Homo-oligomer: A and B are copies of this chain.
Amino acid sequence: MEWAPIVANVIAGLIAIVLISAVAIVLRKMAHRLITRVVQRASSDRPSLAGRLRGKDVIPLDGLDAIMAERRRQRAETMGSVLKHVASIIVLGTAALTILERLSVPIAPLLTSVGILGVAIGFGAQELVKDFIAGMFMLLEDQYGVGDVIDVGAAVGTVEAVTLRITRLRDIDGRVWYVRNGTIIRVGNESQGWSRAAVDVPVAYTVDVPVVRDLLNKVVEELWQDTDFRDSIIVEEPKVWGIEQISGTAVVFRVSAKTIPSRQAEVARELRVRVKAALDGASIPIASVA
């Protein structure tokens, strides 16, 4: 045997490996930078969208901008982290396979082993990928954030944490819910813009309609004048909507008030107390709807 070509070969191999590794590392770095930049732009683009949405907020809430900025930063970080992992796996995996091939190691058996396992796992992992994709878009679209009260079908409550895979809520009974993002097909967010408190007032059929209407109008007028509620909680003069339902025993009026987000229950309770007092004062009993 002649050693010269072998040595040359080995040296060439080593050089190739070093080169490939170097290229891979550089590429990975570049990919990470790119991702950072794209993600940041994406999440600072959105604020404009979120901004427009928030722009409908009827009450300027102090500190909203700071909260939004913080949310934006977190979003960028969360999304960037996953994308960077994916980029690293692709770049380093390709480099590793290229090196193995350069070294004439037969990689077919390896690919076979990995491939069979890969397919088996791939099918099962669909759900996982679905969760991640759903989570990524939820963040991008800023559908909700920590502190919002949301309805995801499976559970209703206050958001405690949002990750790419799950959303964690705490419902009104203190139960903590872990919901996979991919299983959420529609989200109802009660903490954006405004909420409405609607109270149905059924009175006996025999009662005179205009009388009750005036009475209710007076109640909502007083509530609107009450500085405890006006502007700070109720954001628009409440209205009496008229007869929603009519039956042999009752005529149902509806009273409606727009409130700042998530305060509607409180206002509805106050409305019930005041309506009852007013009706009692006029000796008009509330009826049962048959």
Q: Which residues from chain A sit less than 8 Å from chain B, CB to CB?
A: 53, 86, 89-90, 93-94, 97-98, 101, 106-130, 132-134, 137, 141, 143, 151, 154-155, 160, 163, 165-166, 170-180, 182-183, 185-190, 192-196, 198, 202, 205, 209, 241-244, 246-251, 258, 261, 264, 269-270, 272-273, 275-277, 285-290
Contacts and interface: CB of A to CB of B under 8 A. Distances in A.
A30 to B, nearest CB: 14
Nearest to A114: B90
A183 B126 CA distance: 14
A261 to B, nearest CB: 7
Contacts of A264: 173-174
Nearest to A119: B122
A182 B130 CA distance: 14
Number of copies of this kind of chain in the complex: 7
A97 B123 contact: no
A114 B113 contact: no
Contacts of A132: 124
A86 B114 CA distance: 10
A175 B152 CA distance: 12
A117 B247 CA distance: 60
A248 B285 contact: yes
Contacts of A141: 163, 165-166, 178
Nearest to A271: B243
18 contacts: A94-B112, A114-B116, A124-B126, A125-B133, A127-B134, A172-B196, A173-B195, A173-B198, A174-B195, A177-B187, A177-B188, A180-B185, A183-B185, A205-B285, A246-B275, A246-B276, A247-B288, A248-B287
Contacts of A101: 106, 108-109
Contacts of A290: 288
